[in-house]
Amino acid sequence: MTLRVLSIASEAAPLIKTGGLADVAGALPAALAPHGVEMTTILPGYPKVMAALGKAKAVHTWPSLLGEPARLIKGKLGAHPLLVVDAPAFFARDGGPYADGGGRDWGDNWRRFAAFARAAAEVAAGAVKGLAFDLAHAHDWQAAMTPAYLRYDGVSLPSVMTIHNMAFQGHYGADIFGGLALPREAFAFDGVEYHGGVGFLKAGLEAASAITTVSPTYAREIREAQFGMGLEGLIRSRGARVHGIVNGIDTAEWNPETDPALAQRFSVRTLPRRIANKRALEAEFALDSHDGPLFVVITRLTWQKGMDVLLEVVDHLVGLGGRLAVLGSGDAALEGALHAAAARHPGKVSVRIGYDEALSHRMQAGGDAILVPSRFEPCGLTQLYGLAYGCVPVVSRTGGLADTVVDANLAALAAGAATGVQFNAVHYSALADAIDRTISLYSQTDVWRGLQRAGMKSDFSWSRSGNAYADLYAALVEDR
């Protein structure tokens, strides 16, 4: 029997991406297909998404979706079914999915994503002729009101709420409650009410049949105040209904043997060819060209990602003969500080501010090591891309970073299992030590090759996790 799942996400690669959520939402349909799940993705109709749809016909219309007219349009996400909520008043704007061109969040985000979730709940519940679903799977706060709407509509469809990042919760004042079109009783401690206001993620976590997050370690961490960010009590109260399923990567997109972005393709058997990518990357970033270690960073520039601590160790890294290439965008102060570090170290440190998918591939192929000093990391994808591309990950021991990188301690090295370097706390001395260790490992050519090979051979495909999601869906549908 095929299970029909509606995956509700505010971004999905390749159509619209600001971060890791898009990679995962974009990869899930193909990951689930071999396990008897037909996944349909539903997205908001941002201009980029509408442009990709072309002249598709509406399959449903809402004269008033939380007060604005909207249509549902059918399309394709790769080879998989896609639905798009075309509501111009909410989504037809220049800028990003969540913020304007200047990086300021849209003031009506609560209404935009409540409307999106409302539409998705109706679709999941079977309101549109010809579309039927066995389960709704909502991602992050932007989709989190879907399980809540299902609950207060009295629809018994099972639902899964996935946390990709607990730091973003969709927390608003109580005054928006009236605009959500929910019954009065929903404004309750075990409903959508959160610290006197409205919490979108909180509402979804309360209403969903099961909760998942994107690694087993993060699933444990969010039971504690440091990582639960106010929702740790709720997570603990949902006990066995909280699961950690680690992300995979799309191995068609991220394969160094076939990647069209690279100067030179390579595999685990032809690792020496990688050098052409390193030389190309040095040229692209105007870095000195030599055989010393080249570190890369590819990230959103936020507190989460530990970029302030990276800035503190730049001088140390350069002092040891390292070079650093950074690609990122986000916090303006961090952007400025990175530019200043590059100006201090011409030929040694170079920064690209912006978002560039192809460049991120070239960096994974040409860098020797990727630095991921996150303060918390639900799963993390750039370390997985690093593993696949022989770019050795140097990561903080948290969340999915702890679960996916095997530290090069003596035992792991002796067993040939080591794939990277882990360090404990995100502060100067721990990161500086990790960089020392990495450079020392790099100088032992055979050891370094061993790390690269073990990483490239490790299984970061979606097969195991696809299976885990499919099992969870099946159990929830059976329980219904």
Ligand X SMILES: Nc1ncnc2c1ncn2[C@@H]1O[C@H](COP(=O)(O)OP(=O)(O)O[C@H]2O[C@H](CO)[C@@H](O)[C@H](O)[C@H]2O)[C@@H](O)[C@H]1O
Q: Looking at beta carbons only, is 82 or 296 nearer to ligand X? A: 296
Q: Looking at beta carbons only, is 21 or 114 nearer to ligand X? A: 21
Query: Can residue 393 be called a binding residue for ligand X (CB under 6 A)?
Result: no
Q: Looking at beta carbons only, is 165 or 438 nearer to ligand X? A: 165
Is 17 annotated among the ligand-binding residues?
yes
What is the smallest separation between the CB atom of 297 and ligand X, expressed in angstroms? 9
Among 328, 390, 450, 466, binds ligand X (CB under 6 A): 328
Among 77, 166, 219, 381, binds ligand X (CB under 6 A): 381
Residue 23 Ramachandran class (φ > 0 left, ψ -120 to 50 alpha, else beta): alpha
Of 46, 88, 51, 49, the residue nearest 70 (C-alpha): 88
**DSSP state letters, 221-254:** HTTSHHHHTT-HHHHHHTGGGEEE------TTTS
Query: Can residue 382 be called a binding residue for ligand X (CB under 6 A)?
Result: yes
Q: Looking at beta carbons only, is 109 or 360 nearer to ligand X? A: 360
Integer Cα distance of 465 and 288 in angstroms: 41
Integer Cα distance of 409 and 416 in angstroms: 10
Cα dist from 35 to 161, 184, 187, 224, 372, whole Å: 20, 40, 38, 33, 32
What is the smallest separation between the CB atom of 162 and ligand X, expressed in angstroms? 8
Among 377, 395, 434, 454, binds ligand X (CB under 6 A): 377
**H or E element, residue 278:** helix 275-284
Q: Looking at beta carbons only, is 37 or 388 nearer to ligand X? A: 388
What is the smallest separation between the CB atom of 326 and ligand X, expressed in angstroms? 9
Among 379, 391, 395, 456, binds ligand X (CB under 6 A): 379
Integer Cα distance of 67 and 84 in angstroms: 18
Of 433, 423, 380, the residue nearest 404 (C-alpha): 380
Query: Can residue 206 be called a binding residue for ligand X (CB under 6 A)?
Result: no
How many residues bind ligand X (CB under 6 A)? The answer is: 26
What is the smallest separation between the CB atom of 116 and ligand X, expressed in angstroms? 18
Integer Cα distance of 29 and 2 in angstroms: 13
Query: Can residue 214 be called a binding residue for ligand X (CB under 6 A)?
Result: yes
Length reported for the chain: 480
Stretch that binds ligand X, among 83-91, 152-160, 261-269, 294-302 (CB under 6 A): 294-302
Residue 51 structure tokens:
């442009």
Query: Can residue 367 be called a binding residue for ligand X (CB under 6 A)?
Result: no
Stretch that binds ligand X, among 90-98, 121-129, 224-232, 349-357 (CB under 6 A): 349-357
Of 117, 212, 223, 118, the residue nearest 161 (C-alpha): 212
Distance in angstroms between the alpha carbons of the first and the last residue of the chain: 16
Integer Cα distance of 438 and 457 in angstroms: 20
What are the residues binding ligand X (CB under 6 A)?
A: 19-21, 23-24, 164-165, 214, 247, 298-300, 327-329, 355-357, 360, 377-382, 400
Specify binding-site residues: 17
